Amino acid sequence: MIAAALVLLAIGGAGFLAKLVIGPNLSDRVVSLDSILTIVVTALTAWGAYTGRSTYLVVGVVVSLVAFLGTSTFARFIEGRRR
């Protein structure tokens, strides 16, 4: 069951990666990058549940915090460019 979830997450990640490459503007790319990082955190959590190791959960929390800070920084940068 976890393997099926990881395959579906990989398919979703590939779709967001394509949107990251072909996104027409910067805000689309920022949203797709944030979504890719969300998929990475979800995959780490699923893998941690599969292996029974809590290390993956800690790494997932750290990645999600970095993703939040990065998205906030990009949003501030985009907002500053529009003025």
Domain, as residue range, for 7: 2-81
Which pTM value belongs to this model? Answer: 0.85
Question: For the domain that residue 17 is a member of, what is the CATH number?
Answer: 1.10.287.3510
Q: Residue 7 — pLDDT band, cuts 50, 70, 90?
A: very high
Task: With a cut of 90, say whether residue 13 has pLDDT above it.
Answer: yes
pLDDT in tens, 20-63: 999 888 889 999 999 999 999 999 999 999 999 999 999 999 99
User: What is the DSSP code string of the chain?
Assistant: -HHHHHHHHHHHHHHHHHHHHH-SSHHHHHHHHHHHHHHHHHHHHHHHHHHT-THHHHHHHHHHHHHHHHHHHHHHHHHHHT-
